[in-house]
């Protein structure tokens, strides 16, 4: 009996090591808890993020241990990428707080947004339109999404995606100029008037390259919480969005 328990413990230990290895260096699952990336990512989407896309930093590992201050095998992200990153949380260097944040999800230091500004760029909103380095980003209205204007935006590198704007709000008609520092990036949510992104994040909101966690690649599961909990499997025929399974993230 004792031998069987020991063998089971060994199997569990090896399985845990393999899972941590895959999570740290290849793919990590993430859950979308808010509407900030609508219409492209919905509340209840579960997706895989590739950890190798931009190289590795301490944030690639569980609890972000402060064992290395740079990136290994660094690769430059592209404008328009949908990226998971760590915020400039003031207590991020306190190891115990990082553990509690991960265990209880209370600090919410993981964000997912779209990369808009690269180091050296100048970002500004003028009359409700996005400008990058004094050039207006192409924006074409294609319809409505939950009473908001639905647009297709096309960035200077020809990456296009859907974005929504609250056309009744004057909140972001005009903005200050954001000058992106060296080794930092500027992020926006696709739900432009309902996103806590680089316009609001503390620190200021420019994200250092070492805070990049990975690139969002694929939705592997999606459940509409308004129609039923994930644990109420008898409601899955109403709540599970099968049409979103294995959808590539743009």
Who has greater pLDDT, 21 or 215? 215
Length of the chain: 250
pLDDT for 34-68, tens place per residue? 999 999 999 999 999 999 999 998 888 877 777 77
Domain total of the chain: 1
- Report pTM: 0.85
Mean pLDDT over 188-204 rounds to 88
Apex CA 33: angle with CA 183 and CA 95, to 5°? 55
Cβ atoms 146, 157 nearer than 8 A = no
* Average predicted confidence (pLDDT) for the chain: 85
Active-site residue set: 36, 113
Which residue range forms the structural domain that includes residue 237?
A: 2-248
CATH of the domain at 130: 2.10.109.10
Per-residue pLDDT, 68: 73
Q: Which of 82-91, 96-105, 111-120, 141-150 has the lowest mean pLDDT?
A: 96-105
User: Where residue 8 falls among pLDDT bands split at 50, 70, 90?
Assistant: low
């Amino acid at each position: 009996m004792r031998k069987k328990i020991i063998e089971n413990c060994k199997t569990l230990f090896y399985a845990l090591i393999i899972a941590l290895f895959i999570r740290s260096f290849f793919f990590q699952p993430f859950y979308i808890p808010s509407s900030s990336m609508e219409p492209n990512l919905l509340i209840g989407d579960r997706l895989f993020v590739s950890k190798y896309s931009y190289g590795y930093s301490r944030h690639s590992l569980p609890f972000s241990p402060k064992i290395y201050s740079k990136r290994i095998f660094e690769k430059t992200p592209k404008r328009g990428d949908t990226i998971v990153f760590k915020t400039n949380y003031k207590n991020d260097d306190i190891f115990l707080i990082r553990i509690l944040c991960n265990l209880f999800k209370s600090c919410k230091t993981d964000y997912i947004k779209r990369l808009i500004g690269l180091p050296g760029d100048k970002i500004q909103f003028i009359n409700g339109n996005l400008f990058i380095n004094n050039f207006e980003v192409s924006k074409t209205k294609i319809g409505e999404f939950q009473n908001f204007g639905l647009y297709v935006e096309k960035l200077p590198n020809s990456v296009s995606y859907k974005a929504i704007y609250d056309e009744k709000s004057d909140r972001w008609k005009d903005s200050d100029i954001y000058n992106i520092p060296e080794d930092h990036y500027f992020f926006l949510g696709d739900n432009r008037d309902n996103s806590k992104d680089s316009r609001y994040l503390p620190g200021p909101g420019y994200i250092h390259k070492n805070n990049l966690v990975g690139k969002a690649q694929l939705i592997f599961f999606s459940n509409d919480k308004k129609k039923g909990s994930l644990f109420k499997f008898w409601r899955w025929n109403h709540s599970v969005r099968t049409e979103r399974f294995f959808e590539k993230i743009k």
